[in-house]
Amino acid sequence: MAQIWNDDDGERWAADADRRDRVLAPVGDSLFGAARLRPGERVLDVGCGCGATTLLAAGQVAPGGTATGLDVSAPMLRVARARQESGGVANASFVHADAETHPLPGPFDAVISRFGTMFFADPARALAATAGGLVPGGRLIMATWQPPDVNPWLTVPGEAIMRHAVTAVDLRDRRMFTQSDPEVVERLLTGAGFARVRLDGVRVPLPVGTDVADAAEYLAGTGPGRAQLAAVADADREAALRDMRTALAEHAGPDGVRLEAAIWIVTAFRPD
């Protein structure tokens, strides 16, 4: 997994960081709404990627608090550090490490993660280490995806593309959905030593593009979009993209194209 985030996927995320952060901003809003960070707190952002949520957390815990972003991806951390420097955020830092094997640089009052916990090869081990990095009574707040079939940002473009596909693509098999089942999440976190595990289902509108062409380009470049387009024969690819643009046009408004996302905001506590 580390290699993937240092090669193709990491470079892709790094290159598209600003746009992706605009799209995922409503997810961050839900995460921070639940996290209720306070000045003076020490926060760890696990799988922080390009650092947008780490830098937001740093602002919320100032003065007196710190935000540490931890990620295994060198290209994404390059973006995070450049953003930190250009924003002059003095109370944030970034650690290049694998959350599964690296002792966490704690202790922390809170651990946050926006879609950074579902790619662990051994999530039980990584989440146990996360619990160990929290002070007693400390909290974990993470955003994970609900299943693909209840996510219009996937079903709207996906159904249009898959009308042209020659092979089936089951998005449920993708790693990003490994923490979509509440029972799985609850079992994982309880096994990792967390208590009072709670999943709140939240639906947020994602601004996927400034117009239909921009939205189509963004969605075709996501992991699910690329997997579905790869199932379409070359000769039919343009027709699939045209159908996708037609489907997206129904969701276009004066502020661009918005599609709903269904996520879980998960909270859990290290017992006192």
Ligand X SMILES: C[S@@+](CC[C@H](N)C(=O)[O-])C[C@H]1O[C@@H](n2cnc3c(N)ncnc32)[C@H](O)[C@@H]1O
Considering the complex, state which of residue 98 and residue 260 has its C-beta at the smaller distance from ligand X: 98
Shortest Å, Cβ 24 to ligand X: 6
Considering the complex, state which of residue 76 and residue 263 has its C-beta at the smaller distance from ligand X: 76
Considering the complex, state which of residue 41 and residue 100 has its C-beta at the smaller distance from ligand X: 100
Binding site for ligand X (CB under 6 A): 1, 5, 24, 47-50, 52-53, 70-73, 76, 98-100, 114-116, 119-120
- How many Cβ atoms from other residues are within 10 Å of residue 183's Cβ? 8
**Amino acid code (one letter) for 204:** V
Distance CA 266, CA 3 (A): 27
Question: Helix-strand-coil percent breakdown of the chain, rounded to 5?
Answer: 50, 25, 25
Helices of type H across the chain: 2-6, 8-15, 17-35, 52-61, 74-87, 123-132, 152-162, 182-191, 212-221, 223-230, 237-249
Residues 133-143 as b or e (16 or more Cβ within 10 Å = b): bbeeebbbbbb
Shortest Å, Cβ 112 to ligand X: 9
Beta bridge partners of 263: 145, 202
Beta bridge partners of 108: 134
Residue 111 backbone phi and psi in degrees, to 5: -115, 130
Considering the complex, state which of residue 25 and residue 62 has its C-beta at the smaller distance from ligand X: 25
Considering the complex, state which of residue 174 and residue 237 has its C-beta at the smaller distance from ligand X: 174
Shortest Å, Cβ 35 to ligand X: 14
Considering the complex, state which of residue 94 and residue 269 has its C-beta at the smaller distance from ligand X: 94
Shortest Å, Cβ 225 to ligand X: 15
Shortest Å, Cβ 221 to ligand X: 14
Shortest Å, Cβ 125 to ligand X: 10
